C-alpha cells in the first residue's frame, strides 16, 4: 500500500474479529517498528508478540481497546540516557507509529494503547515476565477490524502551518 494511503486509512481500531493473526504478519509489523528512527541509534525498545489467549486475557483489564483482539504487540523501553538526553519515549513512539501504519498496510487494525498501561505496569510486568530495567510502555492490539471508526476531528494543516516564521502563511 502506498504510504500516504496507509496514513490516511489508519484509525484507532478498538473492536476486532476473532480470527487469529499469523505470526509472520506480527513479525512483519514488529520489523517495521525496528526500522523506525532511534535517538543516537541506541535502540531502546523491545517487543513481545502476544497471541496466547490466556496472556491476552490477563492484559484486557488495561483497556477496552484490547477486548476481543486476537493478538497484541507489547512495546518495552529501556529508560537509559543517550549522550544527547533521554530518548526512550521518542524511540518507542517512532516505532509505534511505524507499526500502526504497517498493520494498515497488511490489512489489519491496531490502536496505540498507552493511557492505562502505566497504572497497570506492575501486573503487566509479572504477566509478561519483564525484568528491570525494562519498562512496559505501550500495547498495540492487532486484528482484522470489526469496526470502521470515523475519522476524528483534526485540524486543517493550513491552520497550523507557517512558512519561515510563526504566524506567516
Alpha carbon distance 114, 145 (integer Å): 19
Kindly state whether residue 157 participates in binding ligand FMN, applying the rule CB under 6 A: no
Strand, helix or coil for residue 71: strand
Neighbouring CB atoms inside 10 A of 105's CB total 18
Per-residue x/- mask for ligand FMN, residues 5 to 34, rule CB under 6 A? ------xx-x--------------------
Q: What angle do CA 138, 79, 37 make, to 5 degrees?
A: 70
Based on CB atoms, which residue is closest to ligand FMN, 26 or 139?
Answer: 139
Kindly state whether residue 79 participates in binding ligand FMN, applying the rule CB under 6 A: no
**Closest distance between ligand FMN and the C-beta of residue 164, in Å?**
29
Interface residue with ligand FMN among 42, 78, 114, 123 (CB under 6 A) is 114
Kindly state whether residue 149 participates in binding ligand FMN, applying the rule CB under 6 A: yes
Interface residue with ligand FMN among 21, 75, 113, 140 (CB under 6 A) is 113
Cell numbers found for residue 113: 494503547
Residue nearest to ligand FMN according to CB distances in the complex: 115
Q: What angle do CA 44, 45, 50 make, to 5 degrees?
A: 165
CA distances from 23 to 28, 29, 52 (A): 8, 10, 11
Q: How many CA atoms lie within 13 A of 127 on its CB side?
A: 21
Cell numbers found for residue 100: 500502526
Interface residue with ligand FMN among 116, 121, 128, 130 (CB under 6 A) is 116
Alpha carbon distance 29, 103 (integer Å): 6
Point out which span in 30-38, 45-53, 112-120, 156-164 binds ligand FMN (CB under 6 A).
112-120
Interface residue with ligand FMN among 83, 85, 133, 152 (CB under 6 A) is 152
**Closest distance between ligand FMN and the C-beta of residue 22, in Å?**
24
Alpha carbon distance 127, 55 (integer Å): 7
For ligand FMN, the binding residues (CB under 6 A) are 11-12, 14, 63, 65, 111-116, 149, 152
Amino acid at each position: 500500500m502506498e504510504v500516504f494511503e496507509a496514513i490516511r486509512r489508519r484509525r484507532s481500531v478498538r473492536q476486532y474479529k476473532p480470527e487469529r493473526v499469523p505470526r509472520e504478519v506480527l513479525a512483519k509489523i514488529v520489523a517495521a517498528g525496528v526500522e523506525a528512527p532511534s535517538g543516537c541509534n541506541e535502540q531502546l525498545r523491545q517487543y513481545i508478540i502476544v497471541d496466547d489467549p490466556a496472556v491476552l486475557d490477563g492484559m484486557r483489564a488495561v483497556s477496552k481497546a484490547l477486548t476481543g483482539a486476537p493478538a497484541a504487540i507489547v512495546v518495552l523501553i529501556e529508560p537509559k540516557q543517550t549522550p544527547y538526553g533521554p530518548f526512550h519515549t521518542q524511540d518507542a513512539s517512532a516505532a509505534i507509529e511505524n507499526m500502526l501504519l504497517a498493520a494498515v498496510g497488511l490489512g489489519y487494525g491496531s490502536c496505540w494503547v498507552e493511557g492505562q498501561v502505566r497504572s497497570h505496569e506492575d501486573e503487566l510486568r509479572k504477566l509478561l515476565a519483564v525484568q528491570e530495567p525494562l519498562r512496559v510502555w505501550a500495547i498495540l492490539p492487532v486484528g482484522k477490524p470489526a469496526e470502521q471508526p470515523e475519522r476524528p476531528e483534526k485540524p486543517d494543516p493550513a491552520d497550523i502551518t507557517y512558512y519561515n516564521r510563526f504566524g506567516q502563511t
